[in-house]
Structure 1
């Protein structure tokens, strides 16, 4: 790789080379200086041979910090056991525009620049050691935090011993990345620092952050979106021991991107402990004006979407002349698929600590978007971005919710009022009742059929206006996308991203509809999909910055063929029935088969077999864990609860009313990884969207009934028509 390209990549996409810079922490005429050398924004090496990896991406429990540390350790030549991990602050200056972590891009998007930065650092260390030994650089190599001589076995120099020389050297014009055969960690199952911290209970979650003179805040928010505060009485709240002050919280409007803004009107209780703040919140007397949404329910929104479907719409994406082909047959098959609102239900409730000093602001919060949050705090306060610091420790789950800034905004607003550090902690009830949610969806699918009931073309109109990386359309059947369905007069609940985002309703419709088309054509549903993928063309999507590669139907076809073998497709025991799905998400592909039974209108999932192609699996154990977690996530959405709304109020308030899959419900899950040396791709979300259709398709195999909405309830099964 040429040096000018390295500088371009590392400065814009994460490497940020800082050559010839070091900090002499202790230097006298008789002592060797203690050098703290940061050759790039990913690594720090001390003269005592301490090597620290600075993780640019958010650690949400998905293991990104471990995967990236493995890449750094392998490319640099240091033992994972000796590599310390820190979490980088939000910084566009350091990491370009790729630090925010979502769309299963935590590892994929940093992979190239991290490897190049580490390879350059390794080259500088080798050059420094060669200079010290007065030998050629080809006679040296890095391993276990040392530079070794090839010609004299056992002779080595610790990284820390050559830093003074290394920090003065120019970057090499060309660097050489390691070959896969040289990897010590990449491709192996590694128990990383993230898991070790969790096991020891030492993970530095932001909810545990403490600062001198800090106040703790609990906020009573308007229970209906876009409602307003009429009045409040804080008399009883101020009597609660520990309560210091009660303040009104003014709402912030959603910005152009709904990731910013959206603070609800409310009343904040500030106290000397979280418990006191929560108790004070309970004692508040508040009058709300519910507004237009106070008259609406979930059913209202479903009706609004159905009404909007009746309005005229033209195709905005017309793949392979689908609209023309659609008119060649009078035989049309239609289906509508419904999914409810969903909550993210993170185990660590939303929280943020902010200290607004007037001329600068510092934030501590486990966020998926440290750069976006930094920009938003600057917007909110009118301060320059350089005056805002966003510390981003690990968080206890994100699933898209922590990509939004509202909970951080609340802490900043309150700290600006009182000029001391303020920690805002959401109660568990807050995270269900007054949060942001994955939207309710209604998706209409139509297929034109030939004389043999084979699909000629497909029309789609629903929650998605066009195909994209997160909701790939891989099949060879021509398809037309129409304008997405709209609400009558705005959202009933504010939107949040949710694990797999819109790929969940997209997969629900696409893969259920494909099964129904196979049924109409009297074809085996798995073999039908394979036929529809055989002649499908590669879909160009490289221009999308968060994707980085095209859509390859052949890869999805390969996962289907592999899952058919692994799941013993169509050879199950009596009483067990199978359903299949196949989904692409960004540049990863998953096919899965669900084995289920139905008794007394209750669905029991016995086993889910999944095959994933995610390029090179950096840490196979983490890949499997992510697919297992995604399947459990998808099972909750399919078989348990959604969010329902009556008169603008969310009806679910905690885990007792928003039921999730428990360990006692968990089926056997078998995950197989396609061997590949392609660039690593995401694994955190690709396993979600295929779960619901695989189960629904299995339910049809078991009962002859087509269910087209979630969640699957006993009453729904009982009333369904075969």
Structure 2
């Protein structure tokens, strides 16, 4: 039978669970943002009350990145609202809020047979898949890319409807009116007239929205020159005060009538885990203790309060039997074997491959250890199962997958699960995993009462999946002037992104996901490995290492190690050629003037002196999507170990919606990345982590944090997310600074693994 493009497409759709006719059927979805008495809905994004309060829907989880301010700020600007009257409302999972940008980006994970068919976020295939899955996930800094346009269009339409309502009262053309500061204004003889939004809301809601939203000429943008030093921000964060006074409610703050509390113990990481022994009698007589619940690979104690439940578990001392428990020495050996003999998959090639074949003049090995998230808030969730309906209070980055996991655990339809989205106290992609949702659902079913499950810090470490370990051999062929003629990266790592995709979209267990994707190439696990420089020949090879350790996502993801490989290696090439590291980089960046400007500005901000003469200065740059950053680090080694004194960063993230939040995100990324430089690593023996406390992770405390300077390049380009840029660039900048200070190259993360 002859193959046709149409036949292949139909096969791909069928293989991805998509039916023929899928892209043409009409869609109608109920309004998820229901107005209260005295409120009126404008599209699915905005409600305006008679009191003038403008409530804005935010379908993404707030985890410190400021999304509950950024989307309302876009709406306020486009609508002409007074920021003091803007409120935020987190909304339930709905196809209306499908994250099309992230769905297209993650097409290789949900449509692995032909991801290129769904890589366009404006294409029908990505839209239909995301709507069918109610895909509202928060990740990869895609919130503005996904939601600025629809929120802005809704605000423009609502503004037109408000102006039409005011114009009808005044008997004027609505296009002669304008909306600003929460009022509709008409300037005409004999006087200027104005009406507040609240007085017009009911009449405005009765008007039909315009067929084409009348967008303002300029999208929301804050310029640095408008924000003088010490001046209060024009758009302060909407969550700021509640976080300061403690009224912001997280998952662990939920309280329900008759609620019980649960603590948990997980089996060690490995295959076929089961409970082996437990002294249940040891918990009898513990005041407030209720009972034990056993699950697959875990056991929980339930009591009137969490501390009693945790105490009861400690007394019962559960022990588990595991086949092939994870051991870090075995993981290291598997990575070494993959690097030496594993089959490489070329995921990127450009230029004359003859220049990078065989043994190249310079070949250097770099290593990255597994790293943990170190979230302040451990996993917590509350469940109530009554009359065949499960209610779930949980902070999650993947709400629909979380609902599905909980439903499967207790044998319900996903339609019978109601998820109340809670904010997160920092996630760093940890809450893209949702095992605790299934656990708390089982507990609620077993107990017949509302139950709140909270993992201890030790259990967060034991059951959390670390960032993948990686080994890279970077090779280069210099040209006659000391530049780079050929560049080859051979990177051994498990297919970490594909593992994650199996857990998220296939509801696989961690062990099932490891087995399902073993040996497969994974370009998403090597994002950022292609250097930004103009090099005649470049090749990037992935060796999918077969390690037993299940791995997950972490802030910065692949960029947190590919930037370390690239920028450490380029620095070594510069010094080997006897060239100054800044000018060496700039000479190869003729096609990226935006990154050149970041480097030049960072050099000025950090008082770059060339990185020589034991100055303790290092420089690095990186690109993530359309975002760019350059960092100058000043570091030294003293009797107390490594000390980073100063970080100077300049970033180009396009049009900046909120300058204060952008600066917070870059600063936070730099400090988070510094944690990966100095600590956060994890070793395993017999399936258990050797570190179970935050204090043992060598995290930088406030006294360790350097002076941080952050500046931005003015730009009118589309907004890029600033949250992960600092994470990626700080490690090589510090490593290069330490070389300048000590003359010793550090090629392993975290740096203390080098026995400084």
| Aligned-partner Cα distance in 1 for 2:93–2:529 | 29
Secondary structure at the counterpart of residue 532 of structure 1: coil
Cα deviation code 1:337-364 (max 9, x no counterpart): 1111111111111111122335322211
Report the CA distance between 1:324 and its aligned residue: 2.2
What is residue 160 of structure 1 aligned with on the other side?
A: 198
| Aligned-partner Cα distance in 2 for 1:286–1:112 | 52
| Aligned-partner Cα distance in 1 for 2:28–2:485 | 49
Report the CA distance between 1:574 and its aligned residue: 7.7
The 8 Å contact of residues 562 and 611 in structure 1, kept in 2 or not, is answered as: yes
What is residue 184 of structure 2 aligned with on the other side?
A: 147
What is residue 66 of structure 1 aligned with on the other side?
A: 69
Report the CA distance between 1:451 and its aligned residue: 4.5
| Aligned-partner Cα distance in 2 for 1:144–1:359 | 47
Secondary structure at the counterpart of residue 637 of structure 1: helix
Aligned counterpart for 1:287 among listed residues 300, 319, 332: 319
Aligned counterpart for 2:581 among listed residues 505, 517, 525: 525
Report the CA distance between 1:89 and its aligned residue: 1.9
Matched, 1:317 2:340: no
What is residue 363 of structure 2 aligned with on the other side?
A: 334
Secondary structure at the counterpart of residue 193 of structure 1: coil
Report the CA distance between 1:15 and its aligned residue: 13
Matched, 1:209 2:254: yes
| Aligned-partner Cα distance in 1 for 2:527–2:545 | 22
Report the CA distance between 1:167 and its aligned residue: 2.2
Matched, 1:299 2:329: yes
What is residue 709 of structure 1 aligned with on the other side?
A: 748
Paired residues for 1:71-470 under 5 Å: 71-95=74-98, 97=130, 99-151=136-188, 153=191, 155-180=193-218, 189=233, 190-226=235-271, 227-250=273-296, 265-293=297-325, 296=327, 298-327=328-357, 331-357=360-386, 359-462=388-491, 463=493, 465-466=522-523
Matched, 1:485 2:541: no
Report the CA distance between 1:598 and its aligned residue: 2.5
Distance 1:121 1:267, change over 3 A: same
| Aligned-partner Cα distance in 1 for 2:611–2:348 | 40
Aligned counterpart for 1:580 among listed residues 606, 619, 624: 619
Secondary structure at the counterpart of residue 556 of structure 1: helix
The 8 Å contact of residues 460 and 481 in structure 1, kept in 2 or not, is answered as: yes
What is residue 475 of structure 1 aligned with on the other side?
A: 533
Cα deviation code 1:556-595 (max 9, x no counterpart): 2221122122222216898642111111112211110101
| Aligned-partner Cα distance in 2 for 1:421–1:57 | 26
Secondary structure at the counterpart of residue 413 of structure 1: helix
Report the CA distance between 1:606 and its aligned residue: 1.1
Secondary structure at the counterpart of residue 356 of structure 1: strand
The 8 Å contact of residues 61 and 194 in structure 1, kept in 2 or not, is answered as: no
| Aligned-partner Cα distance in 1 for 2:631–2:210 | 47
Report the CA distance between 1:611 and its aligned residue: 0.5
| Aligned-partner Cα distance in 2 for 1:518–1:17 | 59
What is residue 126 of structure 2 aligned with on the other side?
A: none
| Aligned-partner Cα distance in 2 for 1:460–1:183 | 39
| Aligned-partner Cα distance in 2 for 1:181–1:88 | 24
Distance 1:503 1:130, change over 3 A: same
| Aligned-partner Cα distance in 2 for 1:562–1:67 | 27
| Aligned-partner Cα distance in 2 for 1:107–1:445 | 35
Report the CA distance between 1:374 and its aligned residue: 2.6
| Aligned-partner Cα distance in 2 for 1:141–1:171 | 16
Cα deviation code 1:477-515 (max 9, x no counterpart): 22212233312xx432x3221110111111111111111
Cα deviation code 1:203-231 (max 9, x no counterpart): 11111001122221111111334332223
Give the alignment's TM-score, normalised by structure 1: 0.85
| Aligned-partner Cα distance in 1 for 2:153–2:425 | 31
| Aligned-partner Cα distance in 2 for 1:142–1:183 | 18
| Aligned-partner Cα distance in 2 for 1:22–1:606 | 52
The 8 Å contact of residues 326 and 457 in structure 1, kept in 2 or not, is answered as: yes
Report the CA distance between 1:83 and its aligned residue: 1.1
Q: Name the stretch that deviates more: 351-360 or 52-61.
A: 351-360
Report the CA distance between 1:710 and its aligned residue: 1.8
The 8 Å contact of residues 469 and 586 in structure 1, kept in 2 or not, is answered as: no
Aligned counterpart for 1:45 among listed residues 10, 35, 48: 48
Aligned counterpart for 1:567 among listed residues 594, 606, 612: 606
The 8 Å contact of residues 636 and 741 in structure 2, kept in 1 or not, is answered as: yes
More helix as a share of residues: 2
| Aligned-partner Cα distance in 1 for 2:198–2:570 | 60
Cα deviation code 1:453-490 (max 9, x no counterpart): 43222221213753776655322222212233312xx4
| Aligned-partner Cα distance in 2 for 1:111–1:608 | 31
Q: Which ranges of structure 1 fall in alignment gaps of 5 or more residues?
A: 1-11, 26-33, 251-264, 536-552, 718-722
| Aligned-partner Cα distance in 2 for 1:208–1:131 | 48
RMSD over aligned CA atoms reads 2.8
What is residue 7 of structure 2 aligned with on the other side?
A: none
| Aligned-partner Cα distance in 1 for 2:561–2:294 | 38
Report the CA distance between 1:448 and its aligned residue: 2.4
The 8 Å contact of residues 527 and 562 in structure 2, kept in 1 or not, is answered as: no
Secondary structure at the counterpart of residue 103 of structure 1: coil
May I ask how many residue pairs the two structures share in their alignment? 658
The 8 Å contact of residues 580 and 592 in structure 1, kept in 2 or not, is answered as: yes
| Aligned-partner Cα distance in 1 for 2:598–2:530 | 15
What is residue 608 of structure 1 aligned with on the other side?
A: 647
Secondary structure at the counterpart of residue 508 of structure 1: helix
What is residue 18 of structure 2 aligned with on the other side?
A: none
The 8 Å contact of residues 581 and 611 in structure 2, kept in 1 or not, is answered as: no
Secondary structure at the counterpart of residue 560 of structure 2: helix
| Aligned-partner Cα distance in 2 for 1:372–1:570 | 51
| Aligned-partner Cα distance in 1 for 2:680–2:715 | 37
Distance 1:123 1:529, change over 3 A: same
Report the CA distance between 1:612 and its aligned residue: 0.7
What is residue 7 of structure 1 aligned with on the other side?
A: none
Secondary structure at the counterpart of residue 185 of structure 2: strand
Report the CA distance between 1:655 and its aligned residue: 1.8
Give the alignment's TM-score, normalised by structure 2: 0.82
Secondary structure at the counterpart of residue 128 of structure 1: helix
